[in-house]
């Protein structure tokens, strides 16, 4: 089916906004960071696929149609909820540093920097994450799930206004590598909005995986998907990646790729009144959202007034405290002893909550001591283009929540593969003892972090966003808009937001802006003035600023009715039926 046919097939009967722009459905719903990815998922759902089939199809499609923000060979943390068994699983969609990586290497060979280019490459996790989710909980073949992505790569698609603007703004970054220049700046000029973007090398990568599945067809669906996955990590795609690394002085080897496998595990969880929220583990920043909710739970947030000075001050102080702990403790649990139970305990939240003052903003709060349940751990000194998102709920109540990522402007397109290979090493430190310091075989602490909320034991909302360090902040505000202030999901997503930058940024070189608080311009000046008097260092975003995140979510009503929110800040799109 052609792209035009997909667009005509998914028409007014599927897209059902009310007068407020709220998209609703009675059977299934998808919300994604790009309209074509949403349409890819809708196409799968209409054909009888489940939420995992549709979510995987949309996720892989994002790696084609949103390549400024998502790489087909990038990262892809996933949460899956199975309605029948009431089980919830996470997939660790981030790969480790190559075995040859070390702090010493970067200090002696790279001048103490994690440079742009192949040296920040970690093992790409997204292909394995998609294949693992599809094989375990989906119903389709890899070829069926990858069909929309392949179609868009091979036949091309019109570049969105948002993606074109970001490519234009980052043109000098793309010019660092001939392969990236050829793909994103043909003839030396950035690709324009509406221009048809064809990616033949990436299409060939997908075709190689499909062909491997077809050769294994007689062994069953799961074996076929595994063959497609192995074609990436053990076959000619792996050789193309590693040959380029050998040529360019990179660290990634065939052994690094062949030995990799994502982890499937239960989510981290926290309760907030009548909600239970699930997040991925401490290999990402997901648990920071849970810590924020623990800190805020006792307050009468509704009485403070939505986006009032007192409300925004309280949220910001809670976010700062959670991020201080993230900086001190979060890292790959396979190599770092993370005090997970302490960090997520209500007792620890109570101790930390005492640090929040009504009359003064923290500028640079220290982490606490989750083992001793102390508010402050004495003596501790804490040493960009980003992502997209997809949420799906199917007619059976299964849910999918994923935050695929890896921008294309800080590492080169790999020839013969057609995309950037995960430069997520940019989220590591070169400080010995840091929880997310570079180490052989260690995963960076990932910012992409999807979530899922449950109410009274049933699915309530899969949700997530791009935005780097803003992700958990934007997700918190949208969740509270719905759960505390009773907003429908689309108004909840569109409401103006704030963000704190009062901690080291997750991306190298980890700049910090103590006390900074960004407010979208739709928040009144009087509110900004009151916050400034409390000590917040106010900087204004635009009225609708893409840096404030691009939240998508699907709310499941007690009667099974579905409502979606899709953020206009980044051109997200929701479709329901």
Torsion of the alpha carbons at 209, 210, 211 and 213, rounded to the nearest 10: 90
Percent helix, strand, coil in the chain, to 5, is 40, 15, 45
Q: Is 67 helix (H, G, I), strand (E, B) or coil?
A: coil
Contacts of 146 (CB under 8 A, 6+ apart): 57, 60, 206, 209, 210
d(Cα 320, Cα 534) in Å, to the nearest integer?
Answer: 15
Contacts of 358 (CB under 8 A, 6+ apart): 310, 313
Catalytic residue from among 253, 316, 387, 500? 387
Peptide bond into 509 cis (omega under 30): yes
Is 387 in the active site?
yes
Give me the residue label for tokens 């311009």: 521
Q: How many CA atoms lie within 13 A of 36 on its CB side?
A: 24
Task: Work out the burial of residue 356: count CB atoms within 10 Å of its CB; fewer than 13 is exposed, 13-18 middle, 19 or more buried.
Answer: buried
Question: Is the Cβ–Cβ distance between 225 and 128 less than 8 Å?
Answer: no
**Separation between Cα atoms, residue 504 and residue 364, nearest integer Å:** 10
Task: Provide DSSP, 203-271.
Answer: HHHHHHHHHHHHHTGGG-HHHHHHHHHHHHHTSHHHHHHHHHHHHHT----HHHHHT----EEPPEEEE
Q: Half-sphere exposure of 283 toward its Cβ, with a 13 Å CA cutoff?
A: 25
SS3 label, residue 537: strand
Enumerate the active-site residues: 387
């Amino acid at each position: 089916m052609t792209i035009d046919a997909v667009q005509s097939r998914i028409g007014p009967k599927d897209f059902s906004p009310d007068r407020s722009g709220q998209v609703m459905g009675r059977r299934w719903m998808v919300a994604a960071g790009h309209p074509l990815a949403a349409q890819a998922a809708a196409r799968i759902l209409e054909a009888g696929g489940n939420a995992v089939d549709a979510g995987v199809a949309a996720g892989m499609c994002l790696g084609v149609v949103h390549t400024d923000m998502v790489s087909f060979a990038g990262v892809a943390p996933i949460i899956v909820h199975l309605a029948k068994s009431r089980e919830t699983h996470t997939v660790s969609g981030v790969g480790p540093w190559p075995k040859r990586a070390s702090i010493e290497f970067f200090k002696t060979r790279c001048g103490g920097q994690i440079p742009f280019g192949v040296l920040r490459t970690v093992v790409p996790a997204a292909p394995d994450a998609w294949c693992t989710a599809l094989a375990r909980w989906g119903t389709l073949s890899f070829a069926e799930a990858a069909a929309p992505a392949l179609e868009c790569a091979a036949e091309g698609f019109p570049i969105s206004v948002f993606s074109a603007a970001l490519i234009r703004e980052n043109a000098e970054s793309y010019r660092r590598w001939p392969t990236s220049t050829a793909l994103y700046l043909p003839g030396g000029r950035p690709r324009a909005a509406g221009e048809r973007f064809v990616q033949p090398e990436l299409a060939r990568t997908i075709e190689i995986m499909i062909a491997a599945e077809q050769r294994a067809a007689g062994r069953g669906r799961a074996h076929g998907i595994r063959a497609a996955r192995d074609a990436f990590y053990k076959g000619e795609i792996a050789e193309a990646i590693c040959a380029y690394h050998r040529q360019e002085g990179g660290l990634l080897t065939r052994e690094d790729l062949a030995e990799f496998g994502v982890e499937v595990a239960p989510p981290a969880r926290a309760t907030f009144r009548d909600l239970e929220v699930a997040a991925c583990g401490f290999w990402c920043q997901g648990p920071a959202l849970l810590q924020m909710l623990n800190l805020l739970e006792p307050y009468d947030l509704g009485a403070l007034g939505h986006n009032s000075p007192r409300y925004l001050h309280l949220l910001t102080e809670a976010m700062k405290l959670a991020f201080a702990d993230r900086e001190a403790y979060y890292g790959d649990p396979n190599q770092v002893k993370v005090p997970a139970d302490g960090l997520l305990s209500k007792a620890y939240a109570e101790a930390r909550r005492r640090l929040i003052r009504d009359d003064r903003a923290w500028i640079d709060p220290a982490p606490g001591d989750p083992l001793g349940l102390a508010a402050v751990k004495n003596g501790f000194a804490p040493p960009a283009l980003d992502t997209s998102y997809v949420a799906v709920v199917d007619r059976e109540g299964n849910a999918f929540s994923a935050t695929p990522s890896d921008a294309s402007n800080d590492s080169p397109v790999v020839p013969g593969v057609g995309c950037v290979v995960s430069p997520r090493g940019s989220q590591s430190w070169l400080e010995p003892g840091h929880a997310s310091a570079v180490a052989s075989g260690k995963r960076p602490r990932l910012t992409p972090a999807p979530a899922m909320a449950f109410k009274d034991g049933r699915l309530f909302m899969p949700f997530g966003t791009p935005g780097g360090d803003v992700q958990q902040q934007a997700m918190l505000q949208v969740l509270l808009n719905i759960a505390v202030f009773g907003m429908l999901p689309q108004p909840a997503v569109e409401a103006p937001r704030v963000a704190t930058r009062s901690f080291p940024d997750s991306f190298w070189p980890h700049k910090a802006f103590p006390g900074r608080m960004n407010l979208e311009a739709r928040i009144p000046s009087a509110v900004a003035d009151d916050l400034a008097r409390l000590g917040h260092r106010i900087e204004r975003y635009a009225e609708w600023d893409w840096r404030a995140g691009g939240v998508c979510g699907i709310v499941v009503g007690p009667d099974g009715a579905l409502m979606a929110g899709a953020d206009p800040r980044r051109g997200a799109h929701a479709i329901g039926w």
